[in-house]
Amino acid sequence: MTYDAVPEYRGDGISVKNVGAVGGGDAFLIKAGSKAALLEAGFSFCAVKLLENLESELQGASLEYVLLTHSHYDHASGAYFIKRKWGDVKTAASAYAAKILTKPSALEVMREMNESAAGHFGWDKGEPMGAIDVDKQVAEGDIISLGGLTLTVMEAPGHTKCCLSFYIPEKKLLLSCETIGCIAGPGLVAPAYLVGYQMSVDYMKRLLDMDIEMLLMPHQGLIIGHEKCRALIGDALRSAELLKDLILEDHRRGRTLDEITKHYEEAFFTESLRKLQPPKAFYLNAGNLIPMVIKEFEK
Ligand SMILES: [Zn+2]
């Protein structure tokens, strides 16, 4: 199936809009009544633009939360600047993400990745980010109230150890983290399981048992309609298995990490994904994902 993720949705008592400054550094403003939360905060180099977009979209609503699905630089960096502008905003993330986001060595990697991404997207590197203090550590089953909606926290490790998704039962809306992957083309969802294959598959299977009418895909936007959401989750599961089999088969044939990476790149790093992810980030991720899969299946 071909998926057209929409960047914006306006419904009864809720609106969702991508206010990210650049594709790949997406940030979704969720408004419910007079309250708002930002899901993800994007890169640091374009944070000034994100803040501008955010301010103009808030239109008087009060920004209560920045919800971070995980600690990667392309999702979390902007949170530092948001907190500096709106001191009362609560940054919410998992306990593990909270640890990473104040760790000097991790922040150094995030600054380097931001600088490299700025070059890739043709932006000035801007002011470097600082540590991000997580005000509200959340875990499985916790509820964040927002203007009459209940955002239920789901732990969804697989892309990272710290991954969280949020489900809004009133709207049957799932705000998914990247453990589901990213849409790469018709019927193809690029896997993003960096720390665990089986745990990622378990997360996707869990989604099949949920009542989902709208699915917010990381970096891409909303998929609307029960059947479309289910089909997408099915494609994500099939794509996950396809890549796992590709890696294990190549490994059995004695192919090197570089050769497997090339094969992986040809199959999954499509034109649409290249718009979201700099090649440097793809290779860095592949360098983690491939050995992880081999290790997981050799034990
Ligand atoms: Zn990520």
Rounded distance from Cα 75 to ligand 1 centre (Å): 7
What is the pLDDT, as a whole number, of residue 275? 86
Q: What angle do CA 77, 81, 82 make, to 5 degrees?
A: 100
Rounded distance from Cα 173 to ligand 1 centre (Å): 21
What is the pLDDT, as a whole number, of residue 203? 98
What is the pLDDT, as a whole number, of residue 74? 95
| 200-243 pLDDT tens trace | 999 999 999 999 999 999 999 999 999 999 999 999 999 999 99
What is the pLDDT, as a whole number, of residue 145? 98
Rounded distance from Cα 12 to ligand 1 centre (Å): 31
What is the pLDDT, as a whole number, of residue 62? 97
Rounded distance from Cα 33 to ligand 1 centre (Å): 30
Rounded distance from Cα 190 to ligand 1 centre (Å): 12
| 270-298 pLDDT tens trace | 998 998 888 988 999 999 999 999 999 98
Q: What angle do CA 247, 248, 251 make, to 5 degrees?
A: 85
What is the pLDDT, as a whole number, of residue 267? 96
pTM: 0.96
Rounded distance from Cα 285 to ligand 1 centre (Å): 9
What is the pLDDT, as a whole number, of residue 1? 77
Amino acid at 73: Y
What is the pLDDT, as a whole number, of residue 17? 98
What is the pLDDT, as a whole number, of residue 181? 97
CA neighbor of 93 nearest in space, from 23, 39, 14 = 39
Distance of CA 64 to the CA centre of its chain: 20
Task: Find tokens 């590197």 and name the residue.
Answer: 125
What is the pLDDT, as a whole number, of residue 194? 97
Rounded distance from Cα 60 to ligand 1 centre (Å): 31
Residue numbers in the chain where pLDDT is lower than 70? none
Rounded distance from Cα 170 to ligand 1 centre (Å): 27
Structural domains in the chain plus CATH codes: 8-240 (3.60.15.10)
Rounded distance from Cα 159 to ligand 1 centre (Å): 7
